[in-house]
Amino acid sequence: MIKFFPFVLFAFFAAIPNLRAQEKLTVSYSSIDAPSANWYIAQEKGLYKKHGLDVESIFIPASSTNVAVLVAGQLKFGNGTGGTIASAAVSGAPLVAVACFMNTLPYELVVQDSIKTKEQLKGKSIGISRIGSSSDVIARVFLRNLGLEPDKDVAIIQVGGAGERAAAFRTGRIAAFPAPPGVLHLSKGMPQRVLISSADFQKPYPFPYICGTTTKAYLAANRATVKRLTMALSEGAHFFKTRKEESKQILAKYSRQNDPAYLEAAWEINAKLFDRVPWVTREGMDIQLKDALTKKPSSTVKVDDIVDDTIVAELEKEGFFDRLYKP
């Protein structure tokens, strides 16, 4: 017969509330590049567990696919962008962005080295991941900033992730592709140059880019869980901003890239772009919603229908971000 000593019994039962507090769920992120690092840092550094969550993080390439999975109900929380959320919402999807950890698009337009001017890009093609993705949005923004008309002056074609785009570029299938900062360092042996960068814009392009996204129903029924997810992801962003070398190591692990120049450039640029308080840029969401409404003019969706950052407001009022960033 097994005997339990009193202190063993006490320790066992005392642990039960903590075990019950670890709520299980799966979340998704849409990129392995540095702007999404707070998602896998939260997993890697045990930040979800710190806030009472037993989370499995899965990588689903392209924000448009992540949003489709959320709409289908296969997952309850994941990364969405302003463009994909707005497009889904005007088609009837009850999605909301609850927090955006980065509210601009850090991209460069990589072109063949022979392309020195915007005129030389005319008649050629740009490769993106998927229609409606952030790479699609920034490709169109770049073209308009160059005075070129997307789809008419320059073809925009779906190719896939960064690796697939680099391969298509190498074989000449595409003449250009938008890439996060630092990717240029991974394109060794491929004669190329940056034609335009979002860093060239007079002010950052407002775009809800790395956003915690869920459905209205899930948020209403699981507000405490969404709050804890927001806290963990905010701490992931803080970790990236303040712990350079460890963040570069984690980025190398998830991106499977060890090039020092790439890791340095990716950290240097993106560390500045993670927001201290993850408000959703309503200006950026308004731009994306207006674009989505051109395709669904009968829709009555408004920005306030797809943004609910009351949890961020609550956390700020409670002093969470002040404590997080306290020296």
Strands in 206-215's sheet, in edge-to-edge order, are 53-59, 23-29, 77-80, 206-215, 95-104
Map residue 79 onto helix, strand or coil. strand
Rounded to 5°, angle at Cα 196 from 191 and 197: 110
Per-state percent for the chain, helix, strand, coil, to nearest 5 = 50, 20, 30
Q: Where do the structural domains in the chain lie, given as residue ranges?
A: 20-103+205-324, 108-200
pLDDT at residue number 192: 86
CA 20 to chain centre: 30
- Name residue 262's amino acid: Y
- Name residue 44's amino acid: E
Q: What region does 62 belong to: left with phi over 0, alpha with psi -120 to 50, or beta?
A: left
Given a cut of 50, is residue 8 above it in pLDDT?
A: no
Q: What region does 206 belong to: left with phi over 0, alpha with psi -120 to 50, or beta?
A: beta
Given a cut of 60, is residue 44 above it in pLDDT?
A: yes
Burial 55-87 (b: 16+ CB within 10 A, else e): bebeebbbbbbbbbbbbeeebbbbbbbbbbbbb
Given a cut of 70, is residue 14 above it in pLDDT?
A: no
pLDDT at residue number 3: 41
pLDDT category at 290 given cuts 50, 70, 90 is very high
At a CB cut-off of 8 Å and minimum separation 6, what does 155 contact? 124, 125, 126
Tell which residue, 131, 129, 132, 137, has the closest CA to residue 89: 132
Q: What distances in angstroms separate CA 156 from CA 127, 153, 205, 223, one per listed residue?
A: 6, 10, 20, 39
Average pLDDT, the chain: 89
| Mean pLDDT to the nearest integer, 310-314 | 98
The correct answer on CATH 3.40.190.10 for the domain covering 108-200 is yes
The correct answer on CATH 3.40.190.10 for the domain covering 20-103+205-324 is yes
User: 80-94, 191-205, 242-256: lowest mean pLDDT where?
Assistant: 191-205
Given a cut of 60, is residue 190 above it in pLDDT?
A: yes
Look at the block and give the residue holding tokens 């971000």.
321
Fold equal for 20-103+205-324 and 108-200: yes
pLDDT in tens, 144-174: 999 999 999 999 999 987 778 878 888 889 9
